[in-house]
Chain A
Amino acid sequence: MLKQMYDVVVIGSGPAGLAAAVEAKKQGAEDVLVIERAQELGGILQQCIHNGFGVEIFKEDLPGPAYAQRFIDEVYQLGVEILLDAMVLDLSSGRRIYATSSQSGIVELSARAVVLAMGCRERTRAQIHLPGSRPAGVYTAGTAQRFVNIEGYMPGSRCVVLGSGDIGMIMARRLTFEGAQVERVLEIMPFLTGLMRNYVQCLRDFDIPLQLRHTVSRIVGNNRVEAVEVVQVNENREPIAGTEEVIPCDTLLLSVGLIPENELSRKAGVALDPITGGPYVDERMQTNISGIFAAGNVVHVYDLVDWVTEAAYLAGRSAAHYALEERRRFAGRVRLESGNNVRYVVPHAIDRESLAEADQRLQLRVSEPIEERVSVEVSAGEERIARSVHRYVRPGEMVSIDIPQKAYDTVQRAESLRVSIRSG
């Protein structure tokens, strides 16, 4: 039986939602509810049957469902309440929740704190303005992954993958395992957009060609895909006439980016960063709406699930503290700005007092790859307060850097902090 009021309601039960619920409960929140739209917990991890999960957090290499199961077991042990097969349709800034489910009908309840953990969705064909006909056989990589790994059916037998995102590369390998012919992976950018390890393990090891600076210029076939026309692009990503090549195939998979899923956040008045597509958050993962926190790919798209878990622990802890009215001293925020070759930084701001408690971790993505020694720097005006050195930086791989506690005094005086990439 559902309650009318919860301490913490977590929306979504992927890795972010599960970790947030676990941590909220451990931090003393009594009534914690997870609302999940699918008929089981775990979110997208359930269809990620490949390994590569947990290397950072558990020091083990787990498949997605096994990684999820550790948290699923924990939420049940801790007595977190679960509402499955339920979709939250409305969320107010006052944390009133309106959801529908086939089991419990329409549900209305309130929360002292909310954690948004709705994850992200895949960019579609229309969003990259892909010309041609509209036949069956054009799928996002994640949809194809669900067909293969959950439903047990193959979406095609001869495939082209557009986009070098991680799911696309993983599906190229998966479909190859299943006996399909994967003709090639195309990437419009001059660099890989997913993880290098996925390129090595999924494409190179299976002799699947990757073509950078190439895209699909036309889909052919009225009923089912019959071919795609592929073209090379110039530095402005425009097709170069005369480079067209027609590849016969019955399937086109799209792995052309992920977008945080924030339609619900908008309803609550949560302000979104146009660069990340997710909420502006502070160092506790709180959005601009008091008592509404966010964790995981709903904030920005992560490269590894381990970092999602880490951020969700933080969001769950913050939500529990908020619900239990453990107010902290509030000293005002200092903004984090993206400097040279930094596409974005999360969190968007930190409280000046936060360094009194602990180092503060920043996560960022770069705009351009640099395949040589670089340093990531955080500075307050002319003063550098943090620096880390990396062998390379790549847009597909997130970069983390900690602001040390010893920068406390500098941060008190700073108007903003700037994160930049420097050579050497």
Chain B
Amino acid sequence: MNSKAYDVIIVGAGVVGCMIARFLSRYKLDILLIDKEADLCMGTTASNTAIIHAGYDPVPGSLKAAMNVRGNRMWDTLAAELGIPFERRGDYVVAVGKEELPSLDALYDKGMQNGVPGMLLISGDELRRREPGINPEVSGALWASTGGIADPFAAAVAPAENAVRNGVEVMLETEFQGFLMDGSRVVGIQSSRGELRSRWVVNSAGIYSDAVMHKAGIRPEFKITPRRGEYYVFDRADIAINNVLFPVPTKVSKGILVTTTVHGNTIIGPNAQNIDDKEDRSVTREGLNEVWQGARKLLPQLELKHAIAVFAGLRPAGNAPCATAGVDCKNDYIIEIPDSVSGLVNLGGIESPGLVSAPAIAERVVELLQDAGERLVEKHDWDPIRSPRPRFRELPKEEQKILVHNDPSYGRIVCRCESVTEGEILAEIRAPIPARTYDALKRRTWLGTGRCQGGFDIPRVVEILSRELGLSPLEMSKKGVGSRFLTRPTKEVEADHAEADV
């Protein structure tokens, strides 16, 4: 039982919740960020295409379009302040065959209406020059210079750490169960750790945002449908695509794209399949085949034998129509303080382009609170900066030498494929929001993501984690409750222990 009364409790620590925590940490507020999982960003933020969209895709006039374009403009400053790996390398929508060309014009028009700067229609020849491996049938492309790629994990971890630096509290493995109400006013939440009181609650529960708002009795018709997308990840030693390549979009999604990541791996995906289970991130034979066929339409020379990982993510697709009359968008974002319940900032349906929009959504939440009469006073000592921690693999040799000289633990490679050192792992376990699971370390350091997929490093990481946390290796887990790596000591070790006890 936590007797403290907060000003704001943020439910859900994906990229949106973490950004809101960071933007609100500027003001004199007691803020608590909670998540039901063992780490930040384990839902939609953990598995997506990691694109900073330019903004030509959402329906003009929708909240999605507004947040996308506004968010896109914020990323240079945001990434610099928070140390988020981000590259504004532009993106392409690729038309294959003459029949797809009109779709490019339609996207260009939408982009103009949405206020997307830096778009250009280019010829098939020009694209073939820029990306020689592209399908020779390419007839043209829409080039958007403001498109980019970012590290989606850092996009959540970095603002959350910055928020903690500025006084925000974080409680993980803390599940939202219901609201504490005083009449029609929210006064806190019931959680798996007991009652938590606050003047405001922000619903940033992602795939579960419908269930959270229903607990407050609002928008009973709103429903999140998990829409699964599957992906392949390729070995960067074998395939290196320099560009972000979209096909022309379909009615339901932006299609199966081929893109590079800030870590240099090419990824392909996602397909789009509506499912029922909000925890089902499994990949299917059919789905992977669909992804494969889709990507080969853009890059026929891809070879499946170079794939080193597969994964699936869930888009929290909502069904809220756009609030602006006359805008034909049936699955717009919800970002509101509802009329019928006070003390609640309600978000829902924040699917793609959620990553790029997250900082704009956070700013919008600040505005909503001000509009609701909340007097937000800036802290005089608010620090907007969060410095990234060193990544051995990315440093030039001279800097590697200095790093290892100053701290020998950076000289020991724990993950051979990605050259992740013990020093990096220790830094993440000792970080403001400590990494306490294997996957938390993986998302932060990129260990275990290479060719051997953790085959080499897992026993070593389990040993380091257990040593640092002062817990038995038996308690070490992949991703929190129910996912422990080991079941018991071997007979010999058990016998040794028994002997030692005697």
Contacts and interface: CB of A to CB of B under 8 A. Distances in A.
Partners in one complex: yes
Interface of A: 37, 85, 87, 89, 98, 100-106, 121-122, 124-127, 129, 131-137, 139-140, 142-143, 146-148, 150-157, 178-179, 217-219, 222-224, 239, 250, 263, 266
Interface in B458-479: 458-459, 462-463, 473-474, 477-479
B174 to A, nearest CB: 17
A152 B490 contact: yes
Chain A CB count within 10 A is highest, among B392, B481, B487, for B487
A65 B271 CA distance: 49
A52 B63 CA distance: 68
A103 B410 CA distance: 11
Contact of A143 (B311, B405, B458, B474): B458
Interface of B: 233, 237, 279-285, 288, 304-305, 307-311, 392, 397, 400-401, 404-405, 408-409, 411-413, 416-417, 419, 421-422, 451-456, 458-459, 462-463, 473-474, 477-493
A126 B453 contact: yes
Contact of A127 (B307, B397, B417, B479): B307
Contacts of A150: 459
Contact of A217 (B285, B400, B401, B477): B285
Given A127-B305, A152-B490, 6 more contacts: A102-B408, A104-B411, A132-B282, A155-B487, A218-B282, A223-B482
A87 B456 CA distance: 13
Contact of B459 (A100, A127, A151): A151
A106 B412 CA distance: 10
Nearest to B474: A153
A156 B487 contact: yes
A154 B308 contact: no
A219 B282 contact: yes
Contacts of B488: 153-154, 157
Given A105-B404, A105-B405, A129-B288, A89 B279 contact: no
Contacts of A217: 285
A131 B486 contact: no
B484 A224 contact: yes
B413 A143 contact: no
Contact of A121 (B421, B422, B451, B484): B451
27 contacts: A87-B413, A98-B397, A102-B422, A103-B408, A104-B411, A105-B404, A105-B411, A106-B400, A121-B455, A122-B452, A122-B455, A124-B308, A124-B455, A129-B304, A131-B288, A134-B281, A136-B483, A136-B484, A143-B456, A147-B486, A148-B490, A152-B493, A153-B473, A153-B474, A157-B487, A178-B490, A223-B479
B452 A223 contact: no
B463 A136 contact: no
Given A105-B401, A126-B453, A143-B458, A85 B412 contact: yes
Contacts of A133: 280-282
A127 B308 contact: yes
A143 B486 contact: no
B453 A124 contact: yes
Given A126-B310, A131-B288, A223-B479, A153 B411 contact: no
A121 B451 CA distance: 9
Given A98-B397, A100-B413, A106-B400, A224 B482 contact: yes
Given A153-B493, A155-B486, A136 B419 contact: no
Contact of A89 (B285, B419, B455): B419
Contacts of A101: 411-412
Contacts of B458: 139, 143
B486 A153 contact: yes
Contacts of A157: 487-488
B411 to A, nearest CB: 4
A142 B404 CA distance: 30
Contacts of A178: 490-491
B291 to A, nearest CB: 11
Contacts of B484: 136, 224
A131 to B, nearest CB: 5
Nearest to B408: A102
Given A124-B308, A178-B490, A222 B279 contact: yes
B292 to A, nearest CB: 9
Contacts of A223: 478-483
A360 to B, nearest CB: 32
B459 A131 contact: no
Contacts of B480: 223
Contact of B452 (A106, A124, A137, A250): A124
B147 to A, nearest CB: 28
A105 B408 contact: yes
B443 to A, nearest CB: 13
Contacts of A146: 459
B451 to A, nearest CB: 7
A106 B484 CA distance: 35
B132 to A, nearest CB: 22
Contacts of A87: 413, 416, 419
Contacts of A136: 477-479, 483-485
Nearest to B422: A102
Nearest to B457: A143
Contacts of A266: 237
Nearest to A39: B412
Given A85-B412, A103-B408, A106-B404, A155 B237 contact: no
A201 B453 CA distance: 30
A114 to B, nearest CB: 18
A-B pairs, 5 with minimum CB distance: A223-B482, A152-B493, A136-B478, A223-B483, A87-B413
Contacts of A154: 486-490
Chain B CB count within 10 A is highest, among A85, A98, A136, A155, for A136
A131 B479 contact: no
A133 B463 CA distance: 25
A145 to B, nearest CB: 10
A358 B419 CA distance: 43
A129 B482 contact: no
A383 B463 CA distance: 59
Contacts of B404: 100, 102, 105-106
Contacts of B419: 87, 89
Nearest to A147: B459
Given A87-B416, A129-B310, A131-B282, A102 B456 contact: no
Contacts of A135: 478, 483
B416 A37 contact: yes
A263 B451 CA distance: 10
A107 B483 CA distance: 39
Contact of B473 (A85, A102, A151): A151
A376 to B, nearest CB: 29
A174 to B, nearest CB: 9
B54 to A, nearest CB: 31
Contacts of A139: 455, 458
A250 B455 contact: no
Contacts of B463: 151
Given A37-B413, A126-B308, A218-B282, A152 B408 contact: no
Nearest to B414: A87
Chain B CB count within 10 A is highest, among A87, A100, A217, for A100
B456 A121 contact: yes
Contacts of B482: 222-224
A99 to B, nearest CB: 9
B283 A132 contact: yes
Chain A CB count within 10 A is highest, among B237, B479, B486, for B486
Given A101-B411, A126-B309, A250 B483 contact: no
A352 to B, nearest CB: 35
Contacts of B492: 152
A106 B403 CA distance: 10
A102 B409 contact: yes
B302 to A, nearest CB: 14
